[in-house]
A and B are shown apart, each in its own frame.
Chain A
Amino acid sequence: MIKPTLGEKTFDALNVTAMIVLCFLTLYPFLFVAFSSLSDPGLLAQHRGLLWKPYGFSLNAYKAVFANPNILSGYRNTLFYVVVGTFFNLIMTALGAYFLSRRNVFFKNAIMFMIVVTMFFQGGLIPTYLLVSNLGLTDTPWAMIIPGAINTWNLIIMRTSFQAVPVSLEESAKIDGASEWTVMWRIILPLSIPVMAVMVLFYAVGHWNAWFNAMIYLRDRELYPLQLILREILITNSTDNMTTDASGVDKMPIGEAIKYATIMVATIPILVLYPFLQKYFVKGVMIGALKE
């Protein structure tokens, strides 16, 4: 082992410091929101500067958030879009990936070409919008699920993973009389659990965070996902309907705290799941990055 030189030691120290600063800059905004959401709204309004812990303590903001019918229905809708949407994504993507991972299929390359072309040419927003409207999907939950059924990038990742399953396994199953359907369900999918987990993560996070399709395709507030409600509260600034029961003086401060609590409510599920899923998604990105 060669002894590190002074220059190397300095570099290491600077590097570690830079990384610590980066971690702080990444995490602190979340901590600030978390502390603020738990703070006493009145005290928070007077406070200036960074927060290192909740200022006073109050759960009133969370109570207000969970008493809001819009947020509750948003949550319910988002859960529906996440569960049903992700399930639909997985089936469609797996069917495509399975087909494209087969050998000796005459039209495989033609279909692959047809799919890859869509990564380079697209109709764009307006024709897609008109199509979805003409299909009558507007103002139905299906507008959130069907138009984005397959993400081509995910399809290619999944195909790469399916191709890695040894041919001999499926050949022996075919000799025993298994159909393509059986091969897919009983051999390929069980052997591709890690990549399927990654796909669940990608698609589910996508549905959880989706708002644009909802904004252009949904008119009925009863169908709004959480993110669209969130947009109204955080960005177009309409906490008024949530604070009407508070007295006039308290209105401003609790409005601020409600914003923070809403951010927390919309983010906590991802923050909680994240550590468990991390090992999978890094693998998934690697598959996508390294092969093709």
Chain B
Amino acid sequence: MDTVKTAAGAARKRARSEMSIWLTIGRDLRRNKLLYLMVLPVIAYYVIFDYGPMYGLQIAFKDYSPGDGIWGSPWVGFDHFVEFFNSYYFWRLIRNTLLINVYELIFGFPAPIVLALLLNELRRQYFKRIVQTITYLPHFISVVVVVGMLVDFLARDGIVNQLLSSFGIASKSYLSEPEWFRFIYVSSGIWQQVGWSSIIYLAALSNIDPTLYEAAKVDGAGRWKQMLHITIPGIMPTVIILLILKMGSMMSVGSEKILLMYNPLTYDTADVISTFVYRKGILEANYSYTAAVGLFNAVIAFTLLVLSNSISKRVSETKLW
């Protein structure tokens, strides 16, 4: 008897709360009508240009032909994935994509941290500002111009070879040498971004409580000890967050700069997944195959992100989510 009563009561309560949700929504839609109208173009943009391509990803499991459209093309299951795994390119692309990222992780990732720490130790504020102004600048220069300068400086008769020849080093066409590609890619990337990337660490540095430094000075800590025990622990959460993000993007080298820098001579070390997708997909119109390659890449990338986030959660209690 009792249970029946409570069951009926729960059902009534549920019905009431369902009602009240609809009432709340109705009232909200009426009250905020103008707000919803204002956000409508934004929603439309995201639905079309972000969710549209997600819907389109199904062509990775189909044989897409423009005539039949995304919906009408026949399903082929995992055929394109299998074809990619078995292709000659598979390991080369994985190796190149990962190696460029590992190089960036080893050399590119610490560079802005070191710069921020050094800037922080400068005693004269105006000098610090001048250095910052100058090192931020290349961030705003287009990648086309940066690669254009690389092509010119590294040409066989370019300035780099002219300078090296005065040390008796034979001139080389560096951009046609596969073994030089990663070095040039990563070091020019540091040149362009080191100042800009240091901003976020400088922000973290300025957030450290100054009284910590005073207390340390009273305890007799020199600048080295202060850096070791206050400054570095102070920016550690920022470092870890950015490291997680970097791990998450291990599989996604921006294709733009490589597309401008590489050539068939350097494909061996320069061709990465995203440039392959561009070449086979857009230039050769293998849409389904390259959509599958892209999806494979995205899945690995996302897995790496989740993985590094959970490792970081366990090790340091810093996390992205």
A residues whose Cβ falls under 8 Å from a Cβ of B = 2, 5, 7-8, 11-12, 15-16, 18-19, 22-23, 25-27, 29, 32-33, 48-50, 92, 95-96, 98-99, 102, 105-107, 111, 114-115, 118, 120-131, 135, 146-147, 149-150, 179-181, 184, 205, 208-209, 211-212, 216, 227, 230-231, 233-235, 256, 259-260, 263, 266-267, 270-271, 274-275, 278, 282, 285-286, 289-290
Q: Is B3 an interface residue (CB 8 A)?
A: no
Q: Is the CB of A121 within 8 A of B54?
A: yes
Instruction: Tell yes or no: B236 within 8 A of A by CB.
Output: no
- The answer for the CA separation of A114 and B44 in the assembled complex, in Å, is 12
16 contacts between A and B (CB under 8 A): A8-B223, A12-B123, A33-B149, A49-B159, A95-B39, A99-B39, A122-B53, A122-B54, A126-B287, A131-B53, A146-B49, A149-B49, A231-B148, A260-B152, A286-B199, A289-B199
Q: How far is the CB of A232 from chain B (nearest CB, A)?
A: 10
In the complex, the answer to whether A275 meets B133 with C-beta atoms within 8 Å is yes
CB distance from B179 to the nearest CB of A (A): 21
Residues of A within 8 A of B255 (CB): 125, 212
Those of B265-289 within 8 Å (CB) of chain A? 274, 277-278, 281-282, 287
List the A residue with the shortest CB-CB distance to B161. Answer: A48
CB under 8 Å from chain A, chain B span 1-46:
24-25, 28-29, 32, 34-36, 38-39, 41-43, 45-46
Digitize B105-135: 1 where CB-to-A-CB distance is under 8 Å, 0 elsewhere: 0000000000100110111000100110111
With A127-B53, A267-B141 known as contacts, the answer to whether A26 contacts B39 (CB < 8 A) is no
Q: Is the CB of A267 within 8 A of B145?
A: yes
Q: Nearest Cβ in chain A — how far from B30, in angstroms?
A: 11
C-alpha spacing A211/B135, complex, angstroms: 24
When the two chains form their complex, are residues A234 and B152 in contact, meaning their CB atoms are under 8 A apart?
yes
Question: What are the 8 closest A-B residue pairs judged by CB atoms, nearest first?
Answer: A123-B53, A234-B148, A127-B56, A209-B142, A124-B294, A106-B28, A127-B53, A99-B39
- Name the residue of chain B whose CB is nearest to the CB of A217: B282
B138 within 8 A of A: yes
Q: Select one of A127, A181, A285 contacting B57, CB under 8 A.
A: A127
Bits for B144-179, please: 1 = Cβ < 8 Å to A, else 0: 110111011100000100110010000000000000
Task: Decide: B287 and A230 in contact? CB cutoff 8 A.
Answer: no
Residues B45 and A92 in contact, CB atoms below 8 Å apart: yes
Contact A123 to B57, CB < 8 A, known contacts A15-B118, A209-B143 = yes
Q: How far is the CA of A208 from the CA of B145 in the complex (A)?
A: 12
B53-A5 in contact (CB<8A): no
For the complex formed, measure the closest distance between the CB of A202 and the CB atoms of chain B, giving whole angstroms: 10
Q: How far is the CA of A127 from the CA of B58 in the complex (A)?
A: 9
Does residue B240 face the partner (Cβ distance < 8 Å to A)? no
Query: Are B49 and A121 within 8 A (Cβ)?
Result: no
With both beta carbons as reference points, the residue of chain A lying nearest to B141 in the complex is identified as: A267
CA distance A179 to B35 in the complex (A): 9
A274/B305 in contact, CB under 8 A: no
Pick the contact of A131: B45, B49, B115, B149 (CB < 8 A): B49
CA distance in complex: A49, B163 (Å):
6
Q: Is B207 an interface residue (CB 8 A)?
A: yes
Q: How far is the CA of A149 from the CA of B22 in the complex (A)?
A: 33
User: B84 in the interface, Cβ–Cβ < 8 Å?
Assistant: no
Q: What would 11 more interface pairs be, CB under 8 Å, given A105-B28, A125-B277, A267-B145?
A: A16-B127, A19-B118, A95-B39, A96-B39, A118-B50, A125-B290, A126-B282, A126-B294, A127-B52, A208-B142, A278-B133
Work out how many contacts link A and B, with CB atoms closer than 8 A. Answer: 235
Query: Contacts A125-B277, A212-B256 hold; do A131 and B52 have CB atoms under 8 A apart?
Result: yes
Across-interface contacts of B131 in A (CB, < 8 A): 19, 22-23
| Interface pair A286/B127, CB less than 8 Å apart | no
Establish whether residues B159 and A122, one from each chain, have CB atoms under 8 Å apart when the complex forms.
no
With a cutoff of 8 Å between Cβ atoms, the chain A residues found around residue B153 in the complex are 29, 32
Q: Is the CB of A26 within 8 A of B121?
A: no
Contact with A along B49-67 (1 / 0, CB 8 A): 1111111110100001000
Interface flag for B203 (CB, 8 Å): yes
Least Cβ–Cβ distance between B217 and chain A, in angstroms: 7
A128 (CB) vs chain B CBs: closest residue: B53
Are A26 and B137 neighbours in the complex by a CB distance under 8 Å? yes
Answer whether residue B70 sits at the interface, using C-beta atoms and an 8 A cutoff: yes
Bound form: Cα–Cα A135–B138 in Å? 36
B45 contacts A231, CB within 8 Å? no
Question: Does B186 belong to the interface (CB within 8 Å)?
Answer: no
What's the nearest-Cβ distance from chain B to residue A62, in Å? 16
Contacting residue for A231 out of B36, B141, B144, CB 8 A: B144
Report chain B residues within 8 Å CB of A267. Answer: 141-142, 145
CB of B282 within 8 A of CB of A216, answer yes
Distance (Å) between the CB of A154 and the closest chain B CB? 13
Distance (Å) between the CB of A146 and the closest chain B CB?
A: 8
Distance in Å from the Cβ of B314 to the closest Cβ of chain A?
21
A106 touches B25 (CB 8 A): yes
